[in-house]
A and B are shown apart, each in its own frame.
Chain A
């Protein structure tokens, strides 16, 4: 242990602790910009580059960056004296001297950490005039890059490489032209990027933002010839409230449905409904595969979940040899589309082309998923627009709706009723648990002795379990973040030594609740934890908690699809994957 004094308070910390951590552990706030930590998820970005966290250490000639300076015995630290504050202010002024400062139009305004610092330090003018760095703007279907706003904190680079193991971004060049970019400054969409959008979630400023589809939705809502249908993903309801000042973990399912109705959506449906449908298809597919294995037939095992479009893209770009292991079941978003535009449109007498399907997702990869060619019929996408939780919050605010004052309303029928199994899709391990609840009962024809599979819950990077299917041991694994997924895929490639049958992967930390389209958590992993607790609370409170017991799911099989993995469901609810890996070609 090391004893030191911070702001006249005696403090004792473990040797090796930085001044920043020591201060935070003791409730002393030192402002930071480049520093970023997601506690408990193995993510710490501390390039020590921005110098916003400088503090005075008595006896030391210059100021010390708190994020990379270790506490020493007897140290006397001042985090907020006049010298420190003046230096900190100069640092921020210098950063602002090479920043567009267009806060009024900036997508990050209100959520920007640089803006917050400038406000806190009372910056009223920028005394430094100099060159401005300018870069080409670049966009994928999900992520918009305006690197003129980059402050070189390198959080995105750490996220992309260390946590996601995607490796699309790196710091390039040297000195003033230095910036974070794909190789050769090429378009992000042409690289190994999988559109998970986690770079956007951690960017402190407006350099990396989402591709905003709110105006597309507004156009559809204003068009009287269109029937506009909305679906909301499981993870949205446990996070949307944060945008309206509610405590993290507040469940706003009913208020959200009410808000969507007031905004003018003609039908307010639920992606949870199609999550139940996904379980029917994906669970049945798993049982078919297991039956084939038991029969000695050759079939790709283990089966991987297919709900997460960033994970799908990751597989297509990195593990083309394992594409057959991916469940062919579409994601809940993409199952909802064809059900709405075929089954439901017919039911209400609306032509496919006159129906607009909007999804509200915690995710940015979903924006790229709706644009995939295989999810279109004659150029008409099954899901027209995917907006994020944050965009929905903006939309609600534009309509001047006070979410907290709204009554709790239900979703519309018949694509609105869902079970607890669908709700937990939002958290890492949830799809697995939902699938186990159904697959067990369908396979054994017995009622589950206990419905909660605690062993696949929680924020551990990789979780495993063996579930006894009435004498048949089913081995499952659950991973979140793509670096954990990559390690698992290498293991499967090397012969699947642990003999897994079913593996769930979600690209984002914590699963969809930590998605890139969710309200910014600014590195506070407690927020993700609280969203997770809310998810399981919502599940526990549902009268029906198994997908195969959802009456509207039973009805649609009876009325329309026949049986899971049947002919019509194969046509509408299943898909295929494309090898998008880098190819080495011999020239000449």
Chain B
């Protein structure tokens, strides 16, 4: 079977998260939630070690990770970009903004730029419909976006 390779410090983090939930099988979703919060994503080795700590098959862990769209196996970029595709944003041209981002970054939704700087994702409504279309980079929100403004916004992060 597999050899799980993890750094000592990452191992400790996972172990502590599992312990904080009593190493209970039923807490798998909570464990994964917290683990993703720490690592930003859930790579295979991390899932293997979670399985080991909770004494459950890794296939079950992967079953949960692949079921919920919240969980991801791709690392986030240094600056994670989220484009809102909620109804208000959508009707006001969010898709064109998304296309402009894909063109500019040369990545698809769910991917990370090769330099690890940006990752691109979509979500449904951030509660700022008055500013539609909306996107966010890290913690910062950008309203009334247009495809033309994309380049200029990204430039803020390019040094």
Residues of A within 8 A of B (CB): 161, 166-174, 181-184, 190-192, 317, 580-588
Evaluate contact between A584 and B67: CB separation under 8 angstroms: no
19 pairs from A and B in contact (CB 8 Å cutoff) = A170-B57, A170-B59, A171-B63, A173-B66, A183-B44, A183-B48, A183-B57, A183-B61, A190-B1, A190-B2, A191-B1, A580-B1, A582-B48, A582-B52, A583-B2, A583-B4, A585-B5, A587-B5, A587-B7
Evaluate contact between A583 and B3: CB separation under 8 angstroms: yes
CB-CB under 8 A from B11, the residues of chain A are 584, 586
Evaluate contact between A170 and B6: CB separation under 8 angstroms: no
Distance, CA A580 to CA B3, complexed state (A): 10
What is the CB-to-nearest-CB distance from A160 to chain B, in angstroms, rounded to a whole number?
8
Distance, CA A587 to CA B66, complexed state (A): 26
Chain B binding site: helix, strand, loop or mixed by DSSP?
helix
B156 adjacent to chain A (CB < 8 Å): no
Evaluate contact between A587 and B1: CB separation under 8 angstroms: no
B4 to A, closest residue via Cβ: A584
Evaluate contact between B1 and A167: CB separation under 8 angstroms: no
Distance, CA A301 to CA B43, complexed state (A): 41
CB-CB under 8 A from A317, the residues of chain B are 1
Evaluate contact between B62 and A183: CB separation under 8 angstroms: yes
Evaluate contact between A174 and B67: CB separation under 8 angstroms: yes
What is the CB-to-nearest-CB distance from A585 to chain B, in angstroms, rounded to a whole number?
5
B102 adjacent to chain A (CB < 8 Å): no
Evaluate contact between A183 and B59: CB separation under 8 angstroms: yes
**A582-B59 contact, Cβ under 8 Å, with A172-B66, A172-B67, A587-B7:** no
B58 adjacent to chain A (CB < 8 Å): yes
16 more A-B contacts (CB under 8 A) besides A161-B57, A183-B47? A166-B57, A167-B56, A168-B59, A170-B57, A171-B67, A172-B59, A183-B57, A191-B1, A191-B59, A580-B1, A582-B2, A582-B52, A583-B2, A584-B6, A585-B4, A585-B6
B38 adjacent to chain A (CB < 8 Å): no
What is the CB-to-nearest-CB distance from A188 to chain B, in angstroms, rounded to a whole number?
10
Residue among B5, B56, B57, B68 facing the most chain A CB atoms (10 A cut-off): B57
Evaluate contact between A170 and B62: CB separation under 8 angstroms: yes
B68 to A, closest residue via Cβ: A174
Evaluate contact between A192 and B57: CB separation under 8 angstroms: yes
Evaluate contact between B63 and A582: CB separation under 8 angstroms: no
CB-CB under 8 A from A161, the residues of chain B are 57, 60
